């Protein structure tokens, strides 16, 4: 019987294409595990599967390691290593483990742990943690997506999972809530998402269920009634002075809205005595952002263009859309391209990615970059009422002296001074 080594040794280069690649065998005492390095949590059942494989003499893939002063640091193969230790405890001799060198940078090694086909499939929180480690090294979502062979949307979704709050993260970790449901709850309820999830989970357990589904967590409004509301609203006559509608149409529409509010826990707008709905709604861009949030402004800008002031009808439309759902509105019908534009506006005006890129271009030292990014981010957040977007904040910084950036107190003072200077004409565009 021949072998690959024999074929390679006697190869006819014009007829064969066989290239050797070296692996090594090292005793178990040569390997070590760096605490917290593996993106996967250790799954005992998976470890026991490898233990049985070693005992039965089955072939186990080589570990991927990095040679350090401490020994052979395991990059990929933690479960195989622990499986070998269990096999030894069970009385089976495992003299050495096959291993090979990890190639590339630290980012390459993290990507290897994410994409490895030998390890247990990553749980959503593990994958999110790995993506965050790459983000902390200055990688963009697009670069990470290319590195780990996933879509940009997948990267963004997993990173959003890390921002849903401790309560929801704990429920995802325990398996009570799916990662996608946790993100949807966070988008729907913001900081109250954890409390809502616990309440809905209690209802699910009372009904004998062990997991909170998305349908139970975020009940969807009846599609037929949503369509009927659109039909009714088409009969309304809107103007900057308000709206008019026949009594029977008005009452039916208000009935559907009341049912929606009750089902989704949306409070009706409160109007004080002597105040009209028109005076209650902000119309200026800066007022919409400061009073109702970036999402409401993004809805208005996506539908009617980015401008300094909106009409009452435009503002009302945007507030209705934003209070329903940005990406999946049920009460109002929004074109897909308009929704996409609003989502992009929200991302562009709430993300600090542009600020990180700006900082990374100006500072080469990693520690300095992190300190400056944290300092700029804090001052940006403190002045969101006056400077709502990162691009506006960066333009504002151009009017300050770089010497004031080294201390947060002097940076705050310089930014406030620049805001006051341009207050009459607005932040420079």
- Res 220 pLDDT > 50: yes
- Rounded to a whole number of angstroms, the distance between the first and last alpha carbons of the chain is 77
- Res 357 pLDDT > 80: yes
Ranges 25-29, 70-74, 243-247, 313-317: which has the least confidence: 243-247
Provide the pLDDT for residue 117. Answer: 54
Query: What average pLDDT does range 160-178 have in this prediction?
Result: 88
Which CA distances in Å does 91 have to 53, 54, 61, 78, 205? 14, 11, 22, 20, 44
353 band by pLDDT with thresholds 50, 70 and 90: confident
Q: Residues 309-340: pLDDT tens digits?
A: 888 878 888 888 888 788 887 766 778 888 88
Which CA distances in Å does 88 have to 26, 139, 169, 232, 368? 15, 41, 36, 74, 48
Measured from the Cβ of residue 93, the count of other Cβ atoms closer than 10 Å reads: 7
Provide the pLDDT for residue 29. Answer: 92
Distance between CA atoms of residues 141 and 132, nearest Å: 10
Q: Which residues contact 350 (CB under 8 A, 6 or more apart)?
A: 294
- Nearest by Cα to 136 from 381, 374, 397: 374
Q: Which residues contact 255 (CB under 8 A, 6 or more apart)?
A: none
Higher-confidence residue: 268 or 227? 227
Which CA distances in Å does 30 have to 39, 73, 325? 22, 9, 55
Higher-confidence residue: 381 or 144? 144
429 band by pLDDT with thresholds 50, 70 and 90: very low
Provide the pLDDT for residue 187. Answer: 81
- Of these ranges, 72-86, 99-113, 211-225, the one predicted with the greatest mean pLDDT is 72-86
85 band by pLDDT with thresholds 50, 70 and 90: very high
Largest CA distance in the chain: 97
Distance between CA atoms of residues 133 and 150, nearest Å: 16
Query: What average pLDDT does range 377-404 have in this prediction?
Result: 81
Distance between CA atoms of residues 292 and 319, nearest Å: 8
- Res 276 pLDDT > 50: no
Under the phi-then-psi rule, with left for phi > 0, alpha for psi from -120 to 50, and beta for the rest, what region is 329? Answer: beta
Provide the pLDDT for residue 141. Answer: 87
SS (H, E, C) 321-365: HHHHCCCCCCCCCCCHHHHHHHHHHHHHHHCCHHHHHHHHHHCCC
Higher-confidence residue: 424 or 380? 380
Provide the pLDDT for residue 312. Answer: 80
User: What average pLDDT is seen over the chain?
Assistant: 80
Backbone angles phi, psi at 154, to 5 degrees: -65, -40
DSSP 284: B
- Res 52 pLDDT > 50: yes
Q: Residues 116-137: pLDDT tens digits?
A: 756 667 788 888 888 888 888 7
| Percent of the chain predicted with pLDDT > 90 | 5
Cβ pair 50, 92 in contact under 8 A: no
Residue 148 tokens, joined: 């780990």
86 band by pLDDT with thresholds 50, 70 and 90: very high
Higher-confidence residue: 263 or 67? 67
Provide the pLDDT for residue 16. Answer: 62
Query: What average pLDDT does range 34-50 have in this prediction?
Result: 84
Measured from the Cβ of residue 198, the count of other Cβ atoms closer than 10 Å reads: 15
Which CA distances in Å does 378 have to 303, 332, 352, 397? 31, 36, 11, 14
Provide the pLDDT for residue 428. Answer: 43
Distance between CA atoms of residues 73 and 233, nearest Å: 65
Cβ pair 177, 169 in contact under 8 A: no
Provide the pLDDT for residue 275. Answer: 44
| Percent of the chain predicted with pLDDT > 70 | 84
Provide the pLDDT for residue 395. Answer: 84
């Amino acid at each position: 019987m021949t072998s690959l080594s024999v074929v390679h040794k006697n190869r006819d280069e014009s007829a064969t294409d066989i290239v050797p690649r070296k692996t090594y065998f090292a005793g178990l005492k040569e390997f070590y595990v760096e605490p917290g390095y593996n993106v996967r949590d250790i799954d005992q059942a998976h470890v026991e599967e490898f233990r049985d494989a070693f005992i039965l003499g089955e072939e186990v893939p080589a570990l991927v390691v990095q040679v350090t002063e401490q020994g052979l640091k395991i990059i990929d193969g933690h479960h195989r290593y622990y499986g070998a230790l269990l096999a030894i405890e069970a009385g089976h001799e495992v003299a050495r483990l096959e291993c090979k060198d990890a190639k590339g940078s630290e980012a390459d090694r993290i990507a290897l742990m994410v994409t490895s086909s030998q390890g247990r499939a990553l749980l959503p929180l593990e994958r999110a943690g790995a993506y965050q480690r790459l983000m902390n090294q200055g990688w963009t979502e697009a670069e990470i997506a290319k590195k780990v062979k996933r879509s940009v949307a997948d990267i963004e979704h997993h990173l959003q999972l890390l921002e849903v709050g401790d309560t929801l993260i704990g429920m995802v970790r325990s398996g009570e809530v799916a990662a996608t449901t946790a993100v949807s709850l966070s988008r729907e309820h913001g900081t109250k998402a954890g409390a809502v999830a616990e309440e809905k989970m209690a209802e699910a357990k009372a009904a004998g269920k062990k997991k909170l589904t998305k349908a139970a967590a975020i009940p969807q409004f009846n599609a037929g009634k949503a369509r009927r509301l659109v039909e009714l609203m088409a009969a309304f006559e809107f103007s900057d002075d308000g709206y008019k509608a026949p009594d029977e149409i008005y009452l039916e529409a208000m009935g559907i809205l009341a049912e929606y509010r009750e089902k989704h826990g949306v409070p009706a707008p409160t109007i004080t005595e002597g105040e009209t709905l028109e005076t209650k709604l902000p119309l200026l861009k800066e007022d919409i952002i400061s009073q109702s949030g970036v999402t409401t402004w993004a809805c208005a800008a996506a539908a009617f263009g980015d401008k300094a002031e909106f009409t009452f009808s435009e503002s009302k439309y945007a507030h209705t859309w934003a209070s329903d759902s940005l990406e999946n509105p049920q009460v109002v019908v929004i074109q897909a391209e308009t929704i996409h534009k609003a989502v992009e506006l929200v991302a562009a005006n709430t993300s600090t990615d542009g600020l990180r890129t700006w900082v990374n271009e100006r500072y080469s030292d990693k520690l300095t970059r992190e300190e400056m990014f944290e300092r700029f981010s804090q001052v940006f957040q403190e002045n969101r009422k006056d400077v709502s977007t990162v691009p506006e904040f960066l333009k504002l910084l151009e009017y300050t002296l770089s010497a004031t950036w080294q201390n947060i107190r002097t940076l705050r003072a310089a930014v406030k001074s620049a805001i006051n200077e341009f207050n009459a004409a607005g932040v420079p565009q």
